[in-house]
Structure 1
Amino acid sequence: MEYGAILLETFFGFIILFILAKSLGKTQIKQLTAFDFISALILGELVGNGLYDKEVGILHMGFAVILWGVLLYVTEIITQKYKKSRSLLEGSPSIMIHKGKIQREQMRKAKLDMNQLLHLLRSKGVFSVKEVEYAILETDGTVSVLKKTNYQSPVRKDFNLPLESVALTFMIINDGEILYDNLSEIGYDKAWLEEELKKEEVYSIRDVFYAEYDKNNGLYIQGF
């Protein structure tokens, strides 16, 4: 009976957290602010206590999780309707580099040292502070970078080149298996795919580790 109760409570906790995550929206998962991080810890603790504390049943666990979910939902509504509350509840971005100069006071407030700042810049492909005109520390801990003009990559407009259409790339083979939904999305079928593979001297789908397609560049294949 004890193991059966744990099994039942585990499934119940999984389902209710899944519903809660879907109700709150994808930003709760993707944009992990300090408030979201605390929320995730508390939700995990609530479900964990419900699993292993014999005095806490499904109804107690469900009530606590739903109550916390309502509080999170109300918080989201407040931050959407009242702009002034966003900086308090979600935080606000901070400028770490302004017009090429490092803002030491802002770094101190954000508890950020130079090693951490350089790490964040490298994650954006920037390996020297001299390349940066502006660097903004976002509320989720990432950094947004605007490079100085001399270090920005040229675009087609700079060379007066004609515009080209932008095509979305679809993965159509993954680990030797066809992704039929994506294949249908690009308007082709298995027979077409096999014919294209034969042109590249590939005679079996199972020999392909990865394949993608876009209408501008055609089919790209990588074997095992």
Structure 2
Amino acid sequence: MNFGHFWIFLIKPALVFTIAYILFRIAGKKAVSQMTNFDLLLTFAIGTIISEPILTSKISMSIYYALTFLIFYLAVEKLSLHNKWRWFLVVSPTVLIRNGDIDEKGLKKERLTVNELLGKLREKGYADPSDIDLALIEESGQISVIPKSEARPVQPRDLNIRTERNFVPIPLILDGEIIEHNLKYLKRTKEWLFEKLDEKGVSQAKLSSVTLGTLNENNELMIDMEKTGAPLSNSPYLYKPGRDK
């Protein structure tokens, strides 16, 4: 294999991958949301590569480059699991607020304004930075907030209240259709379900009108029916902002 082939099949994709990653690192965490730098890089790279045959008809080369990028991606993901490589490959979180004080250096590094930071805090339910013990911008671009103990929501254990284990309602009817595998899981029959519906005043003929039917922790069937008829427009609880009439 001569240098030309070595360049095309190994050095060139590695170089493009490295340059693209450096550019995303320079762009900062605000450039990505929920996805990591590597996730976003792979998405853009494969999307661009796959669209290449539309213009050049080089299907085999496009497949090769897409697979090569995927192999680089998997290799980097594997290396990032090891501590000695993780510090180099994975972006560390940046402190934005510590002990109620805004870290101006952190804001400058991530190119965030104070207004943007306050908006992110409001999304988390906090209006005052002084209530925050620690706020970080993660690798995914999301801001995580740890409030001070006196500002966090009251937990049942704070009041010495014993709580029951959470129960996730099990859907039995979705959009008028019976979820048979959930009935089988509960060892129930359709006849039992129809009896429960009848107790709610819903006949078998009206099954298609049931938007959602779930079984709660008390073994009760809770249903949400399709609304029919127009509601009273003069009810203050039905006010819709922006309506002129």
- Report the Cα offset of residue 165 of structure 1: 2.1
**In 1, Cα distance between equivalents of 2:218 and 2:134:** 34
2:45 and 2:66 in contact (8 A); partners too: no
Give 1:49's match in structure 2, choosing from 29, 38, 52. 52
Match of 1:169 in 2: 169
Give 2:41's match in structure 1, choosing from 33, 38, 41. 38
| Residues 1:150 and 2:153 are matched in the alignment | no
The amino acid that maps onto 2:176 is G
Match of 1:74 in 2: 75
1:86 and 1:92 in contact (8 A); partners too: no
- Report the Cα offset of residue 77 of structure 1: 0.9
**In 2, Cα distance between equivalents of 1:221 and 1:127:** 37
Unaligned runs of 5+ in 1: 1-29
**In 1, Cα distance between equivalents of 2:213 and 2:127:** 32
The amino acid that maps onto 1:126 is Y
- Report the Cα offset of residue 113 of structure 1: 1.5
- Report the Cα offset of residue 175 of structure 1: 2.1
- Report the Cα offset of residue 198 of structure 1: 2.3
- Report the Cα offset of residue 220 of structure 1: 3.0
Note the alpha carbon deviations across 1:92-116, whole angstroms, 9 max, x for none.
1122111111111111111111232
The amino acid that maps onto 1:213 is L
The amino acid that maps onto 1:77 is K
Q: TM-score, normalization: structure 2?
A: 0.69
**In 1, Cα distance between equivalents of 2:108 and 2:187:** 55
1:131 and 1:147 in contact (8 A); partners too: yes
Q: 1:174 to 1:75 in 2, by over 3 A?
A: same
**In 1, Cα distance between equivalents of 2:189 and 2:80:** 47
Q: Give SS of 2:136's match.
A: strand
Match of 1:115 in 2: 115
The amino acid that maps onto 2:181 is D
Bigger CA radius of gyration: 2
Match of 1:221 in 2: 223
- Report the Cα offset of residue 144 of structure 1: 1.6
1:131 and 1:148 in contact (8 A); partners too: yes
1:167 and 1:216 in contact (8 A); partners too: no
**In 2, Cα distance between equivalents of 1:84 and 1:41:** 28
RMSD of aligned alpha carbons: 2.3
Q: How many residues align?
A: 192
Q: 1:159 to 1:111 in 2, by over 3 A?
A: same
Match of 1:135 in 2: 135
Q: Give SS of 2:95's match.
A: strand
| Residues 1:96 and 2:96 are matched in the alignment | yes
Q: 1:151 to 1:140 in 2, by over 3 A?
A: same
Matches within 5 A, 1:174-193: 174-193=174-193
The amino acid that maps onto 1:75 is V
Q: TM-score, normalization: structure 1?
A: 0.75
User: Mean Cα displacement is larger for which, 178-187 or 40-49?
Assistant: 178-187
Q: 1:147 to 1:68 in 2, by over 3 A?
A: same
The amino acid that maps onto 2:75 is V
Q: 1:112 to 1:35 in 2, by over 3 A?
A: farther
Q: 1:163 to 1:39 in 2, by over 3 A?
A: same
The amino acid that maps onto 1:86 is R
**In 2, Cα distance between equivalents of 1:53 and 1:87:** 40
Unaligned runs of 5+ in 2: 1-32, 227-245
Match of 1:22 in 2: none
